[in-house]
Amino acid sequence: MLTRHASRLCRFAAAAAIALGAATAPAAAGGKFIFANSSAYDTLDPHAVFDVGRVASRINLYDGLMRWFDNPPHLEPWLAETVDISDDGLTYTFTLRDAKFHDGSPVEASDVVYSIDRILAMKKGAYSLFEGTVAPGSTQAPDAKTVVFNLSKPSAIFLATVPEIHVLNAELVKANEADGDLGTAWLSKNDAGSGSFQLRRYDPAIGWQATRFEDHFFGWDMVDNPLDEIEFRTVVEINSRVLGLMNGDFHGTDGYLPQDQVKRLRTSDHVVVQEEESMRIFYSIIHNGRPPMNDINFRKALSYAFDYDGFIDNILSGSVARNPVPLPNNMWGSPKDAGGYTLDLEKAKEHLAMVEGDVREITLGALAGYGQTEQAAALLQNGLNKIGVKTRIVAETWPVASGKMRDEEQMYDLLFLWKSTYYADPNNWLGEMYACEQIGARNNSWYCNEEVDRLLSEARVSTDQDLRRANYEKANRLLMEDAAGIFVYNTKWFGPFNKNARGVRFSPIGNGQEMRWVSME
């Protein structure tokens, strides 16, 4: 038995205490923190959604067995005290800590079993991470404190995805089930978690408010003057969010604002902008399954026709870093000397001339309301115009675009968008974007290359870190060589916070929205 103990957690706790200042008795008034969120919380069910826009309800109201911290992200036991992994990589045994749900009942192994089976039954949110790896009913609770996951096949990424198993209070949810709906209706507006904050009020049109959960298992000793109340309010308009921060109405908002707004925020006395290198790449999906994009020469022509420098240096004022491969530069497995494409219309023309068959008008997809995607599409259109390729830009909302992405016929020829971090493993990008088995689900490029697929499948199950690294580096190079997509940049996070806020901890997974570490002076 390979044993990994949670002694790391204790070290981490101590380190955090140091980082946050000497642990003192919590002072009386902790204050309230209002976060202006760009998208609406249409549901609070932690198993129904799996995106960045609504991450705050999951990590503040709920706990998982493991959790990601800081940047570069490291995985630590959270509700679990220890985790044992069997030699064959198929059995994961977690021992739980003493923890309580918000209603005072203890967190038990049966709650974890209920939660994973609920995810598998709902087939929503993070379900695709566990599909095929964890079979429904295979997870066991030999006693109240022990959970055993029996995987169907070895998976190098299982542990990395465990934080998404948000643990629900099984009894409470079952008591509120209606017509066998697994409590989805009730959970969409109520909380059955053990997280650091306890839901007080929720309105899909406004957002949600929560109060500090005094009995949280991790305790509050290490945070000097922790927050008493948090509010995540939906504020769609960028200008309203920025103005609200500048006049002190809001204390934080998302860290991916347009650079012009970041500049503006920096001039405010109320705001401090924190900077971190994130893991969120901007690229264009290319529909590899449809002519003329199934011709490598056409894809190369596309890659040579985009003005990378103009986009990064001018439009984004150099606020991001060029990322020539699908994997973020700062993630292991990313080749350091990849080179990558540059704007070169001569080469683009050469490749275009080698394309077999006719080149028709190409549809460039962009996400309505996300100015950057439209600007990138316009720049590419500009380049393609010059080499004689006709294009049409279609900007549609995210719900529309994400629906089309799953349909081979409806998918745009190209689509500019971001790929964020859901778990810090190269599989989050490469394995989902380009593995053959993910076609139509998360591989929206209809790209299937035998060699790349072999490297990715091997890396997905292997526990040999060196082999995984080598495979991912090679896959990155092959994908770039194949011009499978137009890979543009890796994002920097510019988190604007009220100057009185202390202790914000940024991680590419939670984007600085885990509020238990924060205090207001």
Partner 1 sequence: MMETARFLLRKLAADRTAALGALLILLLIVVAIAAPVLSTHPQDVAEFNPPGRLQPPSAEHYFGTDRMGSDVYSRILFGARITITIAVIAIGVSVLIGVPVGLVAGYYRNWASDALMRISDIFLAVPQIVLAIAIAQTLGPSIENVILALSATYWPFWARLVYAETRSALNETYVEASIALGASPGRVMLFHVLPNISSSLIVRTTIGMGGTILTAATLGFLGLGPPAPSPEWGRTIAESREFLPEAWWYATAPGLAIFLVVMGFNLFGDGLRDILDPRTRRSSDG
> What number of chain residues touch partner 1 (CB under 8 A)?
31
Neighbours of 1 (CB within 10 A): 8
**Least distance from partner 1 to the Cβ atom of residue 273, Å:** 16
Q: Which amino acid is at 89?
A: G
**Least distance from partner 1 to the Cβ atom of residue 117, Å:** 39
Q: Are 275 and 318 in contact (CB under 8 A)?
A: no
Region near partner 1 per CB under 8 A, out of 198-206, 255-263, 328-336, 459-467 = 255-263
Residue closer to partner 1 by CB (options 496, 508) is: 496
Question: With binding defined as CB under 8 A, does residue 366 bind partner 1?
Answer: yes
Question: With binding defined as CB under 8 A, does residue 260 bind partner 1?
Answer: yes
Q: Is 404 helix (H, G, I), strand (E, B) or coil?
A: helix
| Interface pick for partner 1 out of 26, 207, 255, 258 (rule CB under 8 A) | 258
Region near partner 1 per CB under 8 A, out of 83-91, 386-394, 459-467, 483-491 = 386-394
Residue closer to partner 1 by CB (options 165, 285) is: 285
**Least distance from partner 1 to the Cβ atom of residue 360, Å:** 18
Q: Are 231 and 33 in contact (CB under 8 A)?
A: yes
| Interface pick for partner 1 out of 39, 184, 382, 402 (rule CB under 8 A) | 382
Residue closer to partner 1 by CB (options 379, 475) is: 379
Question: Residue 399, CB half-sphere, CA atoms under 13 Å: how many?
Answer: 3
**Least distance from partner 1 to the Cβ atom of residue 270, Å:** 17
Question: With binding defined as CB under 8 A, does residue 415 bind partner 1?
Answer: no
| Interface pick for partner 1 out of 176, 184, 211, 261 (rule CB under 8 A) | 261
Region near partner 1 per CB under 8 A, out of 257-265, 286-294, 413-421, 484-492 = 257-265
| Interface pick for partner 1 out of 24, 152, 247, 385 (rule CB under 8 A) | 385
**Least distance from partner 1 to the Cβ atom of residue 383, Å:** 10
Query: Which residues, at least 6 apart from 93, have a Cβ–Cβ distance to it below 8 Å?
Result: 83, 84, 85, 86, 146, 147, 148, 149
| Interface pick for partner 1 out of 379, 411, 479, 486 (rule CB under 8 A) | 379
Residue closer to partner 1 by CB (options 117, 307) is: 307
Question: With binding defined as CB under 8 A, does residue 411 bind partner 1?
Answer: no
| Interface pick for partner 1 out of 238, 286, 305, 484 (rule CB under 8 A) | 238
Question: With binding defined as CB under 8 A, does residue 420 bind partner 1?
Answer: no
Question: What distance in Å separates the CA atoms of residue 518 and residue 497, rounded to the nearest whole number?
Answer: 11
Q: What would the two tokens of residue 340 be?
A: 């990558």
**Least distance from partner 1 to the Cβ atom of residue 409, Å:** 15
Question: What distance in Å separates the CA atoms of residue 342 and residue 67, rounded to the nearest whole number?
Answer: 38
The interface with partner 1 within residues 290-309 (CB under 8 A) comprises: 307
Question: With binding defined as CB under 8 A, does residue 237 bind partner 1?
Answer: yes
Region near partner 1 per CB under 8 A, out of 35-43, 246-254, 277-285, 389-397 = 389-397
Residue closer to partner 1 by CB (options 236, 353) is: 236
The interface with partner 1 within residues 308-327 (CB under 8 A) comprises: 310-311, 313-315
Query: Which residues, at least 6 apart from 386, have a Cβ–Cβ distance to it below 8 Å?
Result: 305, 345
Residue closer to partner 1 by CB (options 261, 330) is: 261
Q: Are 100 and 194 in contact (CB under 8 A)?
A: yes
Query: Which residues, at least 6 apart from 262, have a Cβ–Cβ distance to it below 8 Å?
Result: 273, 319, 494, 496
Residue closer to partner 1 by CB (options 239, 465) is: 239
Strand partners, 285: 415, 485
Q: Is 74 helix (H, G, I), strand (E, B) or coil?
A: strand
Question: With binding defined as CB under 8 A, does residue 188 bind partner 1?
Answer: no
> Concatenated DSSP letters for 347-390?
HHHHHHHT--S----EEEEEETT-HHHHHHHHHHHHHHHHTT--
Question: What distance in Å separates the CA atoms of residue 489 and residue 485, rounded to the nearest whole number?
Answer: 12
Strand partners, 96: 80
Strand partners, 322: 489
Query: Which residues, at least 6 apart from 144, have a Cβ–Cβ distance to it below 8 Å?
Result: 96, 106, 108, 109, 110
Question: With binding defined as CB under 8 A, does residue 410 bind partner 1?
Answer: no
**Least distance from partner 1 to the Cβ atom of residue 15, Å:** 39
Residue 38 DSSP class: S
Question: What distance in Å separates the CA atoms of residue 369 and residue 93, rounded to the nearest whole number?
Answer: 45
| Interface pick for partner 1 out of 286, 355, 377, 455 (rule CB under 8 A) | 377
Residue 36 DSSP class: E
Question: With binding defined as CB under 8 A, does residue 374 bind partner 1?
Answer: yes
Q: Is 252 helix (H, G, I), strand (E, B) or coil?
A: strand
Neighbours of 402 (CB within 10 A): 15
- Can you list the positions of beta strands (E) in 132-213? 140-143, 146-150, 197-203, 207-212
**Least distance from partner 1 to the Cβ atom of residue 395, Å:** 5
Site residues, partner 1 (CB under 8 A): 237-239, 258, 260-261, 264, 307, 310-311, 313-315, 366, 368-369, 371, 374-375, 377-379, 381-382, 385, 392-397
